[in-house]
Structure 1
Amino acid sequence: MSIQRHGTTRRYSDSVVHQGTVYLVEVAPDTGLDAGGQTAAMLASVDRLLAQAGSDRRHLLMATLYLADMADYDAMNAVWDDWLPAGCAPARACVQARLAKPEYRVEIALTAAVVQS
């Protein structure tokens, strides 16, 4: 039963793959952007991490989105809706939370099925 970790630091891994499932959490790499911009940048990073783990956005299972302010809900959803392929919506929750840095507007935790080895 192997566990693969990618981008591992002392505190976290960018993604973890175990028994055909990939787990990842991502924040925007550029905190100078508004919520829509942070969401777009974050999802581009998610695409890279999913590909590295052998998955893609069509194989999402669960998403939890954290917003620093629910006033950003529509801006985040506009980007999310454009990014997500039709018919591939995962189970999803969206909550307001105090994020690790005040500059973060959005954070996402995802699980996805691995589809290639």
Structure 2
Amino acid sequence: MSTTLIQRHGTCQRYSDSVVHAGTVYLVEIAADTTLDAAGQAASMLAGVDRLLAQAGSDRRHLLMATLYLADMADYDAVNAVWDAWLPAGCAPTRACVQARLAKPEYRVEIALTAAVAQG
């Protein structure tokens, strides 16, 4: 009987920062500094995404799907400006952006995404 290899990074009792399985990376990230406005939190969050993707053997050019959660849709344009500047040309994943009540009131933005592991 074969065992499927699952790699978990930053695992605690409740969640993992990222999980890699069958050449796909799954992750969720929030801003490291929640005192920032939505654009600042988006930039902080995407820096964390870069770190997690690198740890999993991927990068932003290999994104497959992203879901952005905003505490307030009034932040949509500001967050999109950060997202658009961060995303490499021609590498846009499928994406949804929704308003949601996030886990803590100071959170302005959260992201869930999948990416392919980069091939050698």
When normalised by structure 2's length, the TM-score is 0.96
Task: Provide runs of 4+ in structure 1 moved above 4 Å.
Answer: none
- Any idea what the Cα deviations from partners look like across 1:19-54, whole Å, max 9, x if unmatched? 000000000011100000000000000000000000
- Mapped to 2, the partners of 1:75 and 1:115 lie a distance apart of 30
Alignment of 1:1-117 (within 5 A): 1-116=4-119
Deviation at 1:116, TM superposition (A): 4.3
- Any idea what the Cα deviations from partners look like across 1:76-104, whole Å, max 9, x if unmatched? 00000000000000000000000000000
- Mapped to 2, the partners of 1:62 and 1:45 lie a distance apart of 17
- Mapped to 2, the partners of 1:30 and 1:48 lie a distance apart of 15
Q: Which runs of 5+ in 1 are unaligned?
A: none
When normalised by structure 1's length, the TM-score is 0.98
Percent of aligned positions that are identical: 85
- Mapped to 2, the partners of 1:20 and 1:36 lie a distance apart of 31
- Mapped to 1, the partners of 2:72 and 2:118 lie a distance apart of 34
Secondary structure of the residue aligned to 2:27 is: strand
